[in-house]
Chains A and B, each alone.
Chain A
């Protein structure tokens, strides 16, 4: 009896190759696409219209690939769940003065929960995605491990995976480079072989998240103060959601030195700015930590990554009684941004992570 696998197909190269490879390896493959956001009405200010990972064009591509592989293909409507769990959180986080990471959340709440459940409802043995990450047996347990293509590694976005989820998940591309995946796409003659990479945030295809939030929540009177680190009020801003830690452009402040956003206080509605040196910090706190090893009770040495493209840096993680942790980097890091995930590695293995407070 063939093993049955549901492949989460986005219409892009990676998930299409995933489906083709698993079929070649003898699996019974079923394609499934999450419809999470409808871009049919989205047009940017300059009139440019966008495709993105969840637009109807991409659903069309996924369907056409599935048809060419002659596999069953289903589109599952997760628009409400996506709105509730991802979009609403995205907006809430900005209004709370944080910079959210919707991709981690989407993996946690949609792909590896709701979609995985759909797969299991179809008696699938596994769900597969086109992520560049690996699930390997380490120390007699399942471990989430970086993809071998360092430039593409997506383990950061997957740190919330539980052992139960990993046991049901396949990442066939984790051992490959993007170049190899493209070669497979050509070999399988997939129509999406030359398709461009998708955006970082699929529902903000033009990158203008401020406009997105204002469309979602309305542009209101959310003015507040720019305040210098030294306490001096420097001017007015038009809403804290417009700012993110590390931002320099668009502040419109005159000062003897270039100023950066170094913090946001949602309670006082203040954006705190300071000189470049103030961007770097050695210590910060996490909340809601998750562990892929036995939850440590004493300080532990890790390499810590504080955003997707960040090169992991040695750090000491001290677990806190509230389920969070305090982190001390071996050397100060720029851009420690509340709302982003901090992910801990031991070499190439993800051992845990949490959300920057």
Chain B
């Protein structure tokens, strides 16, 4: 059966070159990078080279990169680690209503410990009101956490401007930039970031590895206590192969940036234009201005049908897309991100996200365009919604 993968915001395939780079560390080079002997030395340089590549991609220093087990751990470390370190300074955090659960749930766990958290709302296009954000900053505010790009709509947030607000008020600034890596130019210094979370598997590295950028001199309590790895900021033996893969993927994200983003943008535009041309009563969820969205993401609501039914039909035709976020049992619920934009429940439940990636082709998009309108028409004809 045809298999077309349009769910790159969920995860991406490991690039062949990334896997090649990793393999020696899954075979012969087994050492612990913390060891002083030959076995350790054989791998520690690979870990540090990877650290340099991650740092180079986002204009950080290698010493500012801490490897983690995933993006969620990086977000948890940024938020809870800052909270632990700064709790005497104040106990207020500002974030947005549309963050990834790794951020939202970290904030909620702090709320349960007595912290105050402000969840900045979004408008109907999913954008923030920066004046409102600034008005929320108080004497007790210690952290602003705003994602660089939204995983569901692809919306890009004005990180540089938020960085200015954070600097002006002397507040720490964290971003979950997990969806932005490889899809947007990233410079953590230019936008005054203190903390930024990365996840490997969203851009061609394997699952099980992430990183947190921690600006030097930033106070942070570790989340995982253990050995002296990662300059005492994250205990646990390094996931050497994963880290090496992450480094290689960052290298590609830097070297192929223009070409890769142009290519995926044209595919996304082909899909977006094609669907709007052939299907009535569909609504874009996110910024109408494509320049304010990730180049690979398209989130649409198909009026009158259930997004879940459309997804299952697409799956049976070999097309992988997504909707909302999967919960414990694998069921789908209306996306809190889409409902936060004021989209009514029926349209929120009618939403489907297409997120493209480097291995997609124009022919694949054509195939989707050739079958999707008929599925929508059929579902609408039998719908009781």
Contact = CB atoms under 8 A, between A and B. Distances in A.
A83 to B, nearest CB: 14
A72 B329 contact: no
B313 to A, nearest CB: 6
B330 interface: yes
Contact of A35 (B315, B316, B331, B379): B331
Contacts of B327: 77
A77 B312 contact: no
Contacts of B306: 121
B288 interface: no
Contacts of A120: 382
B64 interface: no
Nearest to B309: A121
Contacts of B384: 117
Contact of A56 (B313, B315, B328, B333): B328
A121 B313 contact: yes
Given A30-B316, A76-B308, A121 B382 contact: yes
B313 A63 contact: no
B382 A75 contact: no
A40 interface: yes
A74 B312 contact: yes
Interface in A30-54: 30, 33, 35, 38, 40
A7 to B, nearest CB: 14
Contacts of A123: 313, 316, 378
Contacts of B312: 74, 118, 121-122
A124 to B, nearest CB: 10
Contact of B329 (A30, A56, A121): A56
A143 to B, nearest CB: 27
A121 B315 CA distance: 13
Contacts of A40: 328
A120 B331 CA distance: 19
A259 to B, nearest CB: 46
Contacts of B379: 121
B315 A75 contact: no
B275 interface: no
B382 A59 contact: no
Nearest to B310: A121
B332 interface: yes
Contacts of A74: 312, 330
Q: Please indicate which of the listed interface residues B306, B308, B316, B327 has the most CB atoms of chain A within 10 Å of its own CB.
A: B316
Contacts of B329: 33, 35, 38, 56, 59, 75, 77
A207 B77 CA distance: 44
Q: Please indicate which of the listed interface residues A33, A72, A74 has the most CB atoms of chain B within 10 Å of its own CB.
A: A74
B309 A118 contact: yes
A337 B332 CA distance: 39
B337 to A, nearest CB: 18
A75 B316 contact: no
> How many interface residues does chain B have, given as a range?
10 to 19
B371 to A, nearest CB: 12
Contacts of B330: 59, 63, 74-75
B331 A77 contact: yes
B328 A76 contact: no
Given A40-B328, A117-B384, A122 B316 contact: yes
Q: Please indicate which of the listed interface residues A35, A77, A120 has the most CB atoms of chain B within 10 Å of its own CB.
A: A77
Contact of B316 (A63, A72, A76): A72
Interface in B149-208: none
Contacts of A122: 309, 312-313, 316
A72 B315 contact: yes
B349 to A, nearest CB: 11
A63 B329 CA distance: 10
A75 B328 CA distance: 10
A35 B330 CA distance: 9
A75 B309 contact: no
Contact of A77 (B313, B333, B378): B333
Contacts of A121: 306, 309, 312-313, 379, 382
B302 to A, nearest CB: 13
A233 to B, nearest CB: 50
A53 to B, nearest CB: 13
Interface string B279-317: 000000000000000000000000000101100110110
A75 B313 contact: no
Contacts of B382: 117, 120-121
B328 A77 contact: no
A38 B327 CA distance: 12
Interface in A77-101: 77
Nearest to A121: B309
Contacts of A76: 308, 331
Contacts of A35: 329, 331
Contacts of B378: 123
A35 B329 CA distance: 8
Nearest to A6: B312
Nearest to B331: A77
Interface string A104-146: 0000000000000110111100000000000000000000000
Interface in B98-136: none
B85 to A, nearest CB: 33
Q: Please indicate which of the listed interface residues B328, B329, B382 has the most CB atoms of chain A within 10 Å of its own CB.
A: B329
Contacts of A30: 316
A49 to B, nearest CB: 16
A72 B313 CA distance: 11
A256 B327 CA distance: 58
18 contacts: A35-B329, A35-B331, A38-B328, A38-B329, A59-B330, A74-B330, A76-B308, A77-B327, A77-B331, A117-B384, A120-B382, A121-B306, A121-B309, A121-B312, A121-B313, A122-B309, A122-B313, A122-B316
Interface of A: 30, 33, 35, 38, 40, 56, 59, 63, 72, 74-77, 117-118, 120-123
Interface of B: 306, 308-309, 312-313, 315-316, 327-333, 378-379, 382, 384
The 8 A-B pairs of least Cβ separation, nearest first, read A77-B331, A121-B309, A75-B330, A59-B329, A75-B331, A75-B329, A35-B329, A35-B331
Given A35-B329, A77-B331, A121-B306, 15 more contacts: A35-B331, A38-B328, A38-B329, A56-B329, A59-B330, A74-B312, A77-B332, A77-B333, A117-B382, A120-B382, A121-B309, A121-B382, A122-B309, A123-B316, A123-B378
